[in-house]
Amino acid sequence: MLQVNVLRQKPDWAKERLAFKNFKQTELVDEIIALDDERKRLQAEFDNTQALINVASKEIGKLMGQGKKDEAEEQKATVANLKSTAGELNEKMSVTEKSLQEKLVVLPNLPSALVPPGTSAEDNVVVRSGGVDNINLPANAVPHWDLIKTYDLVDFETGSKVTGRGFPFYKGKGAKLQRAMIQYFLDFNTAAGYTEFIPPFMVNEASAYGTGQLPDKEGQMYHVTEDNFYLIPTSEVPLTNIYRDEILKENELPIKMTAYSPCFRREAGSFGKDVRGLNRLHQFEKVEILQITHPEKSYDALEEMVHHVERLVQSLELPYRILKLCGGDMGFTSALTYDFEVYSAAQQRWLEVSSVSNMESYQTNRLKCRFKDANGKTQLAHSLNGSSLALPRILASILENNQTENGIKIPQVLHKYFGAEMIS
């Protein structure tokens, strides 16, 4: 959530940055400032009324002690009227504060000055790429959904029967390769200083609100209505909320976390090659990395995380590219995002496998995640997260790019985890 003082100090700049992110309702900035003015006015009037109540209440005691009962009764009537006024002011403040918050949560994060202009994915900027020249497939190469059938790795039909479309069964060597990747990704992350967690796979409404899934993405989340819990779309949500309503010490920063979790999203779509096979699922597995940092060091942390994910993708020997997302293609909570895509040679298209983002103070303001600096001043921390990595499309790319006449080659770094060099 954006801070009101940022909007107050630079309203025209804030509107320009929101428009840069392709956000249309820039008039909300003026409405929020007006509501904040009204809130401050009501607060001042309430405080003044409370001060008058305190003075009058003390006066009642003095008058009673002096035997001036009639005057004391008049003061009591005055106090009663003042308390009624204070109650009305308090109610108006609550209504104003609620309206202010409702408008604030509609505003997305402001994009960093490093974000390129643009309105759609076509305007994203390729930062760098690698491994594209090493693609050498047999003439009869096929997409991963055919390879899955040939080698009996994933059962989509039974998943549809048991749950629904987008909930596959991994089986046999498919399940083993999935498990091998999860373990390798976690080992890679913990070796870089990330502490491993196994988080809850459901969160409460306050947690979903804290990281920005609510109210922006409620239609994409699975909701357990009786308990008012939400199935997580990524382990970013429970991990970041560890530090909700916490005040950290400056020397505790940065905090680096990693976790494996299933992820649940209702956004899967229904037709065409873009959602075929493993390309888009309602339930998938992902390993996440996350940092809570000092505000002055968050962009250094972002570059560190981008290079970390790049080394991980390189270790899998997959063709990849890194994109800096333009303003119109960024997520709601992000100030700057890099997307990683791997090339699906058999499909002849790029598949997104990771997003690495700096949220700056947008999430931490919602979460009230703060730290005390060396001078004892309390500040908002910055939060960052990234996929390291999302498994379905990585699996699809491994199958398609490593298919041979004799089977599917397993990347060397996975040999000890998978227990074999080939799927045959």
Binding residues, by number, are: 234, 265-267, 288, 352-355, 385
Q: Bin 183: left if φ > 0, else alpha if -120 < ψ < 50, else beta.
A: alpha
* H-only helix segments in 152-225: 156-162, 172-191, 205-210
Annotated binding site for ATP: 265-267, 352-355
User: Closest Cα to residue 278, out of 157, 393, 143, 401?
Assistant: 393
| Residue ranges of E strands in 171-296 | 195-197, 202-204, 223-224, 229-231, 247-249, 255-264, 283-293
Quickly list DSSP for 10-49: -HHHHHHHHHHTT---TTHHHHHHHHHHHHHHHHHHHHHH
Sheet with 422-423, side-by-side order of all strands: 403-404, 407-409, 422-423
Q: How far apart are CA 381 and CA 293, in angstroms?
A: 6
Q: How far is C-alpha 142 from the chain's CA centre?
A: 35
* H-only helix segments in 345-410: 362-367, 391-401
Q: Which two tokens stand for residue 341?
A: 């895509």
Annotated binding site for L-serine: 234, 265, 288, 385
Q: How far apart are CA 361 and CA 372, in angstroms?
A: 15
30's CB contacts (< 8 A; 6+ apart) are: 11
Q: Which two tokens stand for residue 190?
A: 């913990």
Q: How far apart are CA 411 and CA 82, in angstroms?
A: 76
Q: How far apart are CA 241 and CA 67, in angstroms?
A: 59
Q: How far apart are CA 211 and CA 367, in angstroms?
A: 7
Q: Which two tokens stand for residue 15?
A: 């509107």
Q: How far apart are CA 265 and CA 217, in angstroms?
A: 10
Residue 384, helix vs strand vs coil: strand
